Each structure stands twice: as structure tokens, then as C-alpha cells.
Amino acid sequence: MLLGISKILSNPINIIVLGWLGIYLFFVFFVFFYKYFGLSSWFKKEKESLNALLMSGNITTFSSLKHCIENSETINSLTFDACIEAAKTKAQSGLVFLSIVASTSPFIGLFGTVIGILSAFSSMQSVTTINMIAPAIADALVATAVGIIVAVPAYSFHQILSKKTEDLISLLKMQKDFYLSK
């Protein structure tokens, strides 16, 4: 096993590719957990605010809409829409990074694989058997596997956070609609 890892890391391009994908994977998990817990907390506050609005008819200080309408001279649908768009922009921050990682990491892995296969073929002597070239090709394919391993959570996390953002915006729109209907 260690011999296989040393072969993979013997090519400087593979070191760069696997390092890059490792950094991607770290930040994918960091962004996901940071955004997930932040959006969950924000969603909970907006849900409590919607419940309070339904009971008392007033937007509570928990709502992000409260601060926005307090600073505006007129309270109308356009004011609320601007506040909701600002909240949407804030909620969606970080999602672009996840989509970039999900779409680029397989290509980065594929690049490492291509370089590894080129290296394997260039090291062939005049008489080569499949037993001699297969391990080098197998080692080269590790980069593609790692690229896919990084892409799957990035894509999944992007989808989860997009849904949480949509749910949050729906709560804000419900608050807006109820507040303006009274």
C-alpha cells in the first residue's frame, strides 16, 4: 500500500493535483458546515418571527426584515422586496464556491490522470507487458477518483444549502405578504 502511494506521489503533477483537491475538499466541508448552521439559525429566527407576526401582527426584532423596514421612510411591497433580495444575496454567499468545486474537481482529477498515463507510457521500454504498465495506469486513475470524491459532496452540499436558502426566502415572503395584508 505504501509503495502504491509513493508511486502516485512520485510525479510532481500528481502531488499538485491531489494537494489542490485536498484543499478543495477541506473548504467544501468548511463552507457547508458554516453555512448550514448559519442558515439553520437564521431560519429558526425567521420562523419564530413569522409565528409572532401571525399572533400579534407585528414583525419581531428576530426578523431580518425588521431592521430593513425600520430604516425606510415608506413601507411597501418594494421596500420588502429589496430587503428580501438583500437577505437572499447574504444567504447564497458561498454557494458559488461549492458549484465551482463540483464542476471543476473532476477535470482537475482527469488532468492528473492524463499526466500520470503519459508518464506511464513514456517510461515504457521496448518490450512491455500489461503486467508492467497496468500498475502505472491504475496509479494514474487515482487522481480521477479523488476528483470525483471531491465533486460529489460539493454538489450535494450545494443542493442542500440551495434548498435551505429557498425555504428561508419563502419565510421572508410570507412575513412580507402577511404584514402588507393587514
Instruction: Note the pLDDT tens digit of each residue in 13-23.
Output: 888 888 999 99
Model pLDDT, residue 63: 85
pLDDT of 102 above 70 = yes
Model pLDDT, residue 1: 44
Q: What is the dihedral of CA 133, 139, 145, 149, to 10 degrees?
A: 170
Instruction: Note the pLDDT tens digit of each residue in 105-142.
Output: 999 999 989 988 888 887 777 666 777 777 778 888 88
Over pLDDT 70: what percentage of the chain?
92
Rounded distance between C-alpha atoms, residue 25 and residue 37, angstroms: 18
Rounded distance between C-alpha atoms, residue 80 and residue 53, angstroms: 15
> What are the cell numbers at 11?
510525479
